[in-house]
Amino acid sequence: MNSDIKSLFKQISILLWKETTLEFRNMNALNSVLLYVFSTVFICYQSFTSIPEISVWNALLWIIIIFSSVNAVSRTFNSEPPARQYYYYQLADPVAIISAKILYNAFFLLALSSLSFGVYSIVLGNHIPLTQLSSFMLVLSIGSIGISSLFTMVSAIASRTGNSMGLISVLGFPIMIPLLITVIRASKLIADGLSWNQYAKYVYAIGGIDLMIIALSVILFPYLWRE
């Protein structure tokens, strides 16, 4: 049993390393996601110039983050040819494969959403008070972990059908809304400068939803894999 867990962790770390190497060897995908973020923020800047209203600022930031994440995560299971995926499935445990994908996407989205927040607040102004910055970063991180794991699983489902790009948004957006509502609520309260006690319940709810999504993905992915 102990050696099983050890080999699982070893597989996860090897797969993570593989994902990272592939990403940096083929910079196209990375660059296109970055370009997507910059151009979306620039379009928002051209249409709004400045946003005095906190709720609009907050909603727009999360919409940018969501769409760039969908763009970034949806290629998870499509970036490699199907034949090579069968090869991985023969070598590795399905739990290791999905865990590595979720971990990689979580790290990727953490970086991507912090970058989006940075660019967005430089161009369109920052409404988060400096004292609240740490709690905002907390919500941003657990929010992007949730979004990344949900879309990793949804893209795993969609990649098994013929037309995956269209299906990812159809399948993903309805079930993402509970997470999105909670995240937007929490960051609005943080931007309004309220204290921890007033938004703690939302942070716990986001954490709970994250754990549930990750647990379900790890349990259900082996069934998707069985062909």
Partner 1 sequence: MKKNWWKFIPLFAMAYAIPFAFLGEVSVQTILHETIRNLYFHVTMWFSMMILFIVSFVNSIRYLGSNQLLHDYRAAMYAKTALMFGFIGIFTGMVWANNTWGTPWVNDPQLNGAAITILSYLAYFILRNSVKDEQKKARLSAVYNIFAFALMFVLLGILPRINDSLHPGKGGNPGFGKYDLAPAMRTVFYLSILSWTLIGVWISQIQIRILRIQSKKQ
Residues lying near partner 1 in the complex (CB under 8 A): 153, 157, 160-163, 167, 170-171, 174-175, 177-178, 181-182, 185, 201-202, 205, 208-209, 212-213, 216, 220, 223-224, 226
Closest distance between partner 1 and the C-beta of residue 50, in Å? 27
Q: What minimum distance in Å lies between the beta carbon of 79 and partner 1? A: 20
Shortest Å, Cβ 198 to partner 1: 12
Cα 134 from Cα 66, distance rounded (Å): 21
Work out how close the CB of 157 gets to partner 1 at its nearest, in angstroms, rounded to a whole number. Answer: 6
Q: What amino acid occupies position 2?
A: N
Q: Among residues 92 and 209, whose Cβ is nearest to partner 1?
A: 209
**Complex with partner 1: residue 33 or 179, whichever CB lies closer:** 179
Nearer to partner 1, 116 or 144 (CB): 144
Nearer to partner 1, 43 or 212 (CB): 212
Q: Which is nearer to partner 1, 123 or 205 (CB)?
A: 205
Residue with token string 């970086």: 111
Q: Are 36 and 16 in contact (CB under 8 A)?
A: no
AA identity, residue 159: S
Q: Closest approach of Cβ 99 to partner 1, in Å?
A: 17
